Amino acid sequence: MSSVAVKPLRIVLAASEAVPFFKTGGLADVAGALTKALADCGHEVTLIIPDYTPLRQNKAGLPAVHDTGLQFTIDMNGRSVTGEVNWARYPQSTATVLLVRQAAYFDRGQPYGDAGGGYADNSERFCFFSRAVPEICRLMVLRPDVLHCNDWQTGLIPALLNSRYAQIAGFEQTASVMTIHNMAYQGAFWKMDMLLTGMHWGFYNPSHMEAWGSLNLLKTGLAFADQLTTVSPTYAREICTPEGGCGLDGLLRWRQSALTGILNGIDIDVWNPATDPLLPAPFSADNWQTGKARCKAHLQQRLGLASSPRTPLIGMVSRLVDQKGLDLIAGCASALLHRRVQLAFLGTGDARYESLLRDLAKRHPEQVSAVIGFDESLAHQIEAGADLFLMPSQFEPCGLNQMYSQRYGTIPIVRQVGGLADSVSHYDGTPAGLETATGFVFADYSMAGFSTAVEQALSAWQDAAVWNRLVRNGMHRDWSWQQSADRYVAVYHEALAKVASRKAENRL
Ligand code: ADP
Ligand code: GLC
């Protein structure tokens, strides 16, 4: 339960993916864990996500999904499109999950796209989803205090609340909050897609829905939402600069007083090395050596790497895209292999990075493993079995793997950006530094910067006492959602206060 006594709020969260149902990246972890954390604080929480039905059908361990019997229709540019609503109870929580079913839009092989890129009708699919969210709230009489939107797929919702739904019963007091998980994905589409939004053409202007000649759904959310958040304090500052704002920094500077950076937490029940059912041996901060050694041996065997307890094993679990610093890894790979380390990669993404890693593994089978695919159990086993974890990102709004790795006693090597800078403390080689250090952080996005951090890490690896301290420091850190959930609730109250004062002004 929350440490702060709060009046329970009716919160509706909207996201395009959420664990345990559908996941392609960190958004899913956050949408699921925040839902649970807010409900644990005593709030009435409903999470609304699309129902990519085939993707959940053979998944083990999911809660039962039921039909609500509710149907709704949205006019998509003159075409009536009907959706249905399924529901489930969020696991170990009082929160409800509503799954928006629309077979033509959501019964696909992946949530967003296939090998050829994003689906051609993504703007239509997610305009439909965004328009479904307030419509379902209306039909189910949810009367939300706060509608919390996440990323461009839900960016239209704050605009709808301020226009079509402004006068509708049940939305009089509803405040909107827009969370940016990644400025690099904005949902920018041909301007004629305005016709799918249900918004008046008058809003197609640079103060509202248009950016650089396109309809921009992230911008729409940022322009209309009462409060804005992003997933770390450092990223909140970075996106207000031309370097980090991906073309929307002007708007963000204008709205800076409404913007808060809140570091993500992690689901400490799911990511707990002492109880994780996906690990061959459990371990905790006080007895990590034996359990972690067994996890490492198991991982080396599973991946076909040489069985060698004393060889540093470096892991990486990632979407394989430019953001994640794969060009640095490519550039430093042969130097790394000369240092007699092992590398374990798990990821999917751009074809060129997939083949680069596959190729590396083929040429060095005892030293490098590359599993190209999405594998939840292997992700946990790499977090637990590796000694070091790589996240040399170009930019990183928050990043979750560096937190998972610290909790699993795996020392992260990260670049000093976004949430990585906010969650990893650099070991500078001094006894004072060792008191709090949890990893290795480098500033320059360059092969020299990255190699220096790797060298520092490998030299710390030689000293068992230093290593033990780094591992224990990381494992003892508190990554629970509690504090972050309290911060979101504070933001919700700021958003509600704004709505109340707007209403009061309108009454005058
Ligand atoms: P991002 O959201 O930018 O991809 P994050 O670090 O926030 O980065 O979150 C990524 C999440 O997705 C983590 O939970 C990570 O373990 C998981 N993940 C990424 N790629 C894979 C994969 N190939 N298999 C299993 N899990 C993966
Ligand atoms: C995005 C970001 C990542 C962040 C995640 C969850 O996918 O790339 O840094 O951790 O969202 O907020």
DSSP for 98-140, please give it: EEEE-HHHH-SSSSSEETTEE-TTHHHHHHHHHHHHHHHHHHT
Sequence-separated (6 or more) residues with CB below 8 Å from residue 46: 10, 11, 12, 13, 95, 96, 97, 98, 142, 144
Q: Relative to the alpha carbon of 402, which ligand is closest?
A: 1
Verify whether ligand 2 is closer than 6 Å to residue 400 (CB atom): yes
Helix and strand totals (H; E) in the chain: 18, 20
Q: Positive or negative CA dihedral for 200, 12, 25, 256? A: positive
**Residue 7, burial from CB neighbour count under 10 angstroms (0-12, 13-18, 19+):** exposed
Note the pLDDT of residue 507: 77
> Closest-lying ligand to the alpha carbon of 381?
1
Beta strands 210-211 and 117-118 are unpaired
pLDDT reported for residue 344: 98
Q: What is the largest CA-CA distance in the chain?
A: 75
Which residues fall within 8 angstroms of residue 20, CB to CB, at 6 or more apart?
Answer: 32, 59, 61, 62, 63, 91
Query: Residue 227's closest CA among 468, 433, 495, 440?
Result: 495
Closest alpha carbon to 225 in 504, 490, 501, 494: 494
Going by their DSSP bridges, the two strands 210-211 and 175-180 should be labelled as unpaired
**Cβ proximity of 99 and 21 under 8 Å:** yes
Structure tokens at 427: 């070991």
Q: What is the β-pairing status of strands 214-216 and 210-211?
A: antiparallel
The pLDDT value recorded for residue 505 is 86
Sign of CA dihedral 249, 253, 256, 258: negative
Q: Decide: 317 in ligand 1 pocket, CB within 6 A.
A: yes
To which residue do tokens 């250090």 refer? 437
> What is the rounded CA–CA span in Å between residue 37 and residue 2?
9
User: CA 314 to CA 344: how far, in whole Å?
Assistant: 6
Task: Please classify residue 170 by burial: count the beta carbons closer than 10 Å to its beta carbon, then call 0-12 exposed, 13-18 middle and 19+ buried.
Answer: middle
Q: Which of 27, 148, 186 to mutate to test the pocket of ligand 2 (most atoms within 8 A of CB)?
A: 27
Question: Which of 318, 321, 353, 403 should be mutated for ligand 1, with most atoms under 8 A from CB?
Answer: 318
Cα of 20 to ligand 2 centre, how many Å?
Answer: 17
- Rounded distance between C-alpha atoms, residue 96 and residue 21, angstroms: 13
Q: Which tokens hold the place of 90?
A: 């969020």
CA distances 356 to 347, 363, 395, Å, are 12, 11, 21
User: 177 - beta bridge partners?
Assistant: 148, 227
Ligand 2 atom closest to Cα of 396?
Answer: 9
- Ligand 1 binding pocket includes 348 (Cβ within 6 Å): yes
Domains of the chain with CATH codes: 10-265+482-507 (3.40.50.2000), 288-478 (3.40.50.2000)
- Position 115 scores a pLDDT of 79
Residue having the nearest C-alpha atom to atom 4 of ligand 1: 25
3-class SS of residue 439? strand
What letter represents residue 79's amino acid?
R
d(CA 506, CA 508): 5
Ligand 1 binding pocket includes 33 (Cβ within 6 Å): no
CB 295 within 8 A of CB 287: no
Q: Is the CB of 264 under 6 A from ligand 2?
A: yes
Q: State the ligand closest to the CA atom of 419.
A: 2
pTM of the model: 0.96
Pocket of ligand 1 contains residue 400 by CB under 6 Å: yes
- Going from the first residue of the chain to its last (508 residues), give the mean pLDDT of each consecutive group of 10, the final group possibly shorter: 67 98 97 97 98 95 97 98 98 97 97 91 98 98 98 98 95 97 98 98 98 97 98 98 97 98 95 98 96 98 97 97 96 93 96 96 97 97 98 98 98 98 98 97 97 97 97 97 96 97 84
Which residues, 6+ apart, have CB-to-CB distance to 79 below 8 Å? none
Ligand with minimal distance to 263 CA: 2
Residue 59 burial (CB count, 10 A): 11
